[in-house]
Amino acid sequence: MPNEEQLNLFDLTVAEPPPPAPPTWEEILSNAKIPIPPGTYQNMEEMVAHCNQCDRCRLGKTRTNAVVGRGNPRAPIMIVGEAPGQNEDETGQPFVGKAGQLLEKILAAVDLNSQEDVYICNAIKCRPPGNRVPEADEIAACRPYFLEQLRLVDPQIILLTGATAVRAVTGDKRGITKIRGTWMTWEGRLCMPILHPAYLLRNSSSDRGSPKWLMWQDIQAVRAKLEEIRQL
């Protein structure tokens, strides 16, 4: 009669390897190849602390402050810009310069409150030197932070301001004038590309067909869509 040792010779069960150890904070903050697992952050305050220590790309060496976001962290609308400018880098808050002031006026014109209805952030959390366009590796290094923001806010509508924000979030490389004001779906979420407020500042006309006129059409459509969603 075979003993236990003999029976074990025929046991073909392969032991599963232990799961890999989760990355340490030091690894996450210093290596862009290390992913940031979904669910890493419980709130925006934790993310702000990490972003201000982050060295996942070269921008960590030149920033004054990381610029994570402002507004209601559970808002129905998320507005995504490209990257911080000088004013944002100095204050640690997005859209606080002239473009941000214009954005506030645009929102108020359709009774959207920037502290209740909207959460404002950028695809990139640190200012590129000279306000240059973020490079692909910088966008990739910062993307996990944006995805965690998206998970935490869980917005019903995402507004993408300008072509760089559209490309950074969705990968769509079309010009902003071709796609602004059109609804699209990305990752199951309703998105609309809109003109960047800074572009409106460079184009003062309010005539029909002008950038300001187009923005007015788009923001009214956003307000109407939000009301439609709330009634479902």
Quick check: 59 and 124 in contact, CB under 8 A?
A: yes
State pLDDT tens for residues 55-73. 999 999 999 999 999 999 9
Query: Average pLDDT of 24-43?
Result: 89
pLDDT over 60 (residue 3): no
Q: In which band, very low, low, confident or very high, does the pLDDT at 16 lie, cut at 50, 70 and 90?
A: confident
Element (H, E) at 201: helix 197-201
CATH of domain 21-230: 3.40.470.10
Least confident of 4-8, 23-27, 37-41: 4-8
d(C-alpha 26, C-alpha 65), whole Å: 19
d(C-alpha 70, C-alpha 190), whole Å: 21
Residue, of 17 and 8, whose pLDDT is higher: 17
Quick check: 30 and 6 in contact, CB under 8 A?
A: no
Average pLDDT of the chain, as a whole number: 92
Helix (H, G, I), strand (E, B) or coil at 217: helix
Quick check: 138 and 129 in contact, CB under 8 A?
A: no
pLDDT over 60 (residue 7): no
Going edge to edge, which strands form the sheet with 184-186? 69-71, 118-122, 77-81, 157-161, 189-194, 184-186
pLDDT at 10: 53
pLDDT at 148: 96
**For the chain, which residues make up each domain, given as ranges?**
21-230
d(C-alpha 145, C-alpha 213), whole Å: 34
pLDDT at 29: 87
State pLDDT tens for residues 207-217. 999 999 999 99
Q: In which band, very low, low, confident or very high, does the pLDDT at 6 lie, cut at 50, 70 and 90?
A: low
Residue whose pair of structure tokens reads 């880098």 in the numeric block: 89
Query: Average pLDDT of 14-22?
Result: 73
pLDDT over 70 (residue 40): yes
pLDDT at 15: 66
State pLDDT tens for residues 130-181. 999 999 999 999 999 999 999 999 999 999 999 999 999 999 999 999 999 9
- Among 65, 27, 28, 22, which residue's Cα sits nearest to residue 148? 28
Query: Average pLDDT of 95-108?
Result: 95
pLDDT at 111: 96
pLDDT at 120: 98
Give the pairing of strands 184-186 and 157-161: unpaired
pLDDT at 28: 84
CB atoms within 10 A of CB 208: 8
Q: Where are the alpha helices (DSSP H) in 52-97?
A: 86-91
d(C-alpha 93, C-alpha 106), whole Å: 18
Element (H, E) at 137: helix 136-153
pLDDT over 80 (residue 9): no
Give this prediction's pTM. Answer: 0.89
Give the pairing of strands 184-186 and 69-71: unpaired
- Among 161, 175, 181, which residue's Cα sits nearest to residue 222? 181
Strand locations in the chain (E): 69-71, 77-81, 118-122, 157-161, 184-186, 189-194
Query: Average pLDDT of 33-57?
Result: 93
